[in-house]
Structure 1
Amino acid sequence: MAESYDLAVVGAGVVGLAHALAAARSGRRVVVIERDPRANGASIRMTGLVTVAGHASGAMWRRARRSREIWADVCAQAGVRIEHEGLAIVARRPEAAIALDAFAASEAGEGCSFYQPDDAHALFPQFKGDIAGVFWSPDELRVEAKSALAKIAAWLEDAHDVAFKWETAVSGVADGEVTTSRGPVSAAATVVCAGDDFRTLFADRLTGAGLTKAKSSMLRVRVEDGYELPGAVASDLTILRLPGFEELDGVEALRARLEQEQPEHLRHGVALLVAQSSDGSLVVSGSRELSACPDPFETQVVEDLILEEFAAVLGRKPKQVVSRWAGAYAYSTERPVVTDAPSDRVRVVVAASPAGASSAFAVAEETIAGLFGKGG
């Protein structure tokens, strides 16, 4: 006889674990089914930064703020170290400064500040060269994703009685039952959180969502001993990626200037984001290649472009590249989170941007409320 649960979650990445937590907190008996021995997809391959700044005003900004709040609570309870907090976006050009100043003054820039060059150099001596200012958000937090997800899964199992079925592939989902490689699992409801694998389950329903795959070249580097960043660090190139900046003054002028000054960076989707680990090493992201099937190979050209921007912002080159890897995630030009309801008791949730960790917990609360009702 199949084991019976209130909710089955397919996928043990951050989106899957967020749904398991939301359901468990509402008193549901939950099972998480994961095809690998541990989370091994987009959730652990990116920087581990939970962002708030840069989201567009409205639903996504509210989701980011709520998710950040839950992240802080979960980290405290699950024993996950927060590596650092805050995000600095360095304006290398006056056009970037105009956009960053405008965002800091907007609703979605609540709590953020933009510092003019003199104050910026005094507050952030790590940033070198003739900069036009620094935007600072205090809200971001960063975790080591690989170890964090393992600790959160263990905490969910121990503190919330969430069951986990590792190395178990799901081949079908119907109302009341999930078909797996280890036999059927009975569940009153199911949420599919399969990351960038949006072709195995309910692929026919997702074809209209504009989904494709994105690859990001990632590096872990070392600089001199004792070097410390104020938080995560980004640059002008990143502004073009952030939905909250799309309509702001300065952005189109910045885009035109970057097309003249850094065309190869734009062609390869380079947008610098640097985050620091407790051992002092820096995780550096990266580039963006959109493809139905991104190849697994990294190129020296892209790495050189990333490190060129790194040196321009931080005034130094890494002493050592410790490791290289390809980040991978689902991507949609239409919306950052794709959701679908194949039936009353089944939901599909795809984080369709690199900011899945920044919205996962809030999206999960919405999903669980929709499945079971806000009353629990």
Structure 2
Amino acid sequence: MTYDLAVVGAGIVGLAHALAAAKRGLSVVVIDRDAQANGASIRNFGLVVVAAEEPGRQRKLAERSREVWLEIAGPAGIQILHQGLLAVAQRPEALTLLEAFAAMDSSAGCTLLSPGELGRRQPGLNLENLRGGLLSPAEIRVESREAIPRIASYLEAELKVDFRFATTVNGVCPPVVDTSGGPVRAAKTVVCPGDDLTGLFPGFIARHDVQRCKLQMLRLAANGLRLGSAVVSDLSLIRYPGYASLPEASSLRARLEGDSAEALRNGVHMIAVQSADGSLVVGDSHHYGQTPDPFGSEAVDALILQEFGAVFATAPTVAARWTGTYASAPERAHFLERPGDDIRLVMITSGTGASTAFAIGEETITELFN
């Protein structure tokens, strides 16, 4: 059999391309070296960020990807665990930044909240330490470690996509994909390598100065706290481009460099989301290199938990810890390369796979098969 499309990589980016192609009625095979999803796509918050993305193209990609998540969630058996993003301000500079963001046209639907309104919206916050906040209704949260396998199952059962797991791709030369399980024939191929920088087409990847970003994350045991939305803090505001690109972000960064220098050095910011069992997924940190070490740091975890304690009034109990890596490139959220007429290489280099992959997949398939 010769497929219309072979997709190399079964993370969220690969699945997004397979979905876009299968919805067009194309025959698709997905090939992945692991036996099941195991990389960055299942080690994250499962948070589809919209309002905090950079206005313009990146924001539009996030808006479309959110639409696709909502379209497939029911058929694929994926639960939307909560909606919205609550950015809380600990420092006056953070509140000034949120006020500036709220005044922008791109913040439509977002609501500024006083400390009292914060408490009514989200019980359990450390209100003595908070000056206000901003609620965006657009974000959604899924459980990544469950959602990714369910998307694959949905593609296989309902859209007749073939999967070949535990299979290494050695080379791509359409119409043949050379794999450890023998040749696979496909008219066109999309390579979605995650953070594999030296496997397929390393020269094209090297053009973008890609390295790996290592992160640390925690799961906190359920303790009665119920989140109505994802919650982020001051440190997050200088990382998310939607906020960080505003002039007011410079004052917040200067303040953080004075009183949170160690957190900044370790790329720490606080995101908290909730799972169906009441536990919280909290993180994260950012360390960069071609091959970051696989070891978690207790000191870095302590910085994350310190920030959690500044935002929430409850004492956390750590139930699990893990690290992950994703591809990262300076000043580039993602890129597409054309190693051949019938080959596309797609890499998201900003940690925004859950937020933008579905829209990127649609664009790639439209261009490749147009």
TM-score surpassing 0.5? yes
The superposition leaves residues 328-367 of structure 1 with CA deviations (integer Å, 9 ceiling, x where unpaired) of 1111112111211112211111111121110000000000
Corresponding residue for 1:350?
347
Task: Give 3-state SS (helix, strand or coil) of 1:40's partner.
Answer: coil
How far, CA to CA, are the matches of 1:221 and 1:28 in structure 2?
Answer: 43
Shift of 1:114: 1.6
Whether 1:202 and 2:204 are equivalent positions in the alignment is no
Counterpart in 1 of 2:132?
Answer: 133
Give me the whole-angstrom Cα distance separating, in 1, the residues matched to 2:79 and 2:283.
21
How far does residue 144 in structure 1 lie from its aligned partner after superposition? 1.1
1:36 counterpart residue number? 34
Whole-Å separation in 2 of the counterparts to 1:246 and 1:88:
16
The question of whether the paired residues in 2 share the 8 Å contact of 1:190 and 1:345 is answered with yes
TM-score by length of 2: 0.97
**What residue in structure 2 maps to residue 63 of structure 1?**
61
Unaligned runs of 5+ in 1: none
Matching residue of 1:363: 360
Contact 2:174 / 2:185 at 8 angstroms: preserved in 1? no
Does the 8 Å CA contact 1:56/1:108 hold for their aligned counterparts? Answer: no
CA RMSD after TM alignment: 1.1
Contact 1:223 1:317 in 2 (8 A): no
Partner residue, 1:263: 261
Q: Which residue of 2 aligns with 1:304?
A: 302
**1:138 CA drift (Å):** 0.9
* Residue type of the alignment partner of 1:368: I
- Between the aligned partners of 2:177 and 2:331, the Cα distance in structure 1 is 30
Partner of 2:4: 6
Task: Tell me if structure 2 keeps the 8 A contact 1:337–1:351.
Answer: yes
Aligned to 1:331: 328
Supply the distance in 1 between the matched residues of 2:153 and 2:119 (Cα, whole angstroms): 43
How many residues of Structure 1 are paired with residues of Structure 2 in the alignment? 369
Task: State TM-score, norm by structure 1.
Answer: 0.96
Q: Percent of aligned positions with the same letter in both sequences?
A: 47
Who is 1:121 aligned against? Answer: 119
- Aligned AA for 1:165? R
The residue type equivalent to 2:322 in the other structure is W
Write out per-residue CA displacement over residues 116-137 of structure 1, whole angstroms, 9 at most, x where no aligned residue: 3333233333221231211111
- What is the DSSP-based 3-state SS (H/G/I as helix, E as strand, rest coil) of the residue aligned with 1:209? coil
Q: Residues 108, 210 of structure 1: CA spacing in aligned structure 2 closer, same or farther, 3 A cutoff?
A: farther
Preserved contact between residue 129 and residue 311 of structure 2 (Cα < 8 Å)? no
2-structure distance, mates of 1:140, 1:258: 26
- Secondary structure, counterpart of 1:184 in structure 2: strand
- Tell me if structure 1 keeps the 8 A contact 2:5–2:27: yes
CA distance in 2, matches of 1:107, 1:34: 42
Unaligned runs of 5+ in 2: none
CA distance in 2, matches of 1:211, 1:249: 27
Asked if the contact 2:214–2:285 (Cα under 8 Å) also holds between the matched residues in 1, the reply is yes
Residues of 1 paired with 2:157 and 2:175: CA distance?
26
Stretch moving more, 10-19 or 106-115: 106-115
| C-alpha displacement of 1:12 | 0.5
Could you tell me which residue of structure 2 aligns to residue 24 of structure 1? 22
* Separation in 2, partners of 1:177, 1:291: 33
CA contact (8 A) 2:174 2:188 kept: yes
Alignment partners' CA distance in 2, 1:207 and 1:97? 40
Moved over 6 A (4+): none
Q: Secondary structure at the match of 2:225?
A: coil
**Residue 283 of structure 2 aligns to which amino acid in structure 1?**
S
Which residue number in structure 2 is paired with residue 322 of structure 1?
A: 319
Distance 2:242 2:41 in 1: 23
The 2-side partners of 1:244 and 1:227 are apart by 28
Give distance in 2, aligned partners of 1:246 and 1:321: 30
Shift of 1:208: 1.5
Contact 2:88 2:132 in 1 (8 A): yes
In 2, distance between residues paired with 1:176 and 1:99? Answer: 52
Partner of 1:293: 291
| Partner of residue 89, structure 2 | 91
User: How many angstroms apart in 2 are the aligned matches of 1:311 and 1:277?
Assistant: 19
Q: Which residue of 2 aligns with 1:161?
A: 160
DSSP-derived class of the 2:236 partner:
helix
Structure 2 counterpart of 1:364, which letter? Answer: G
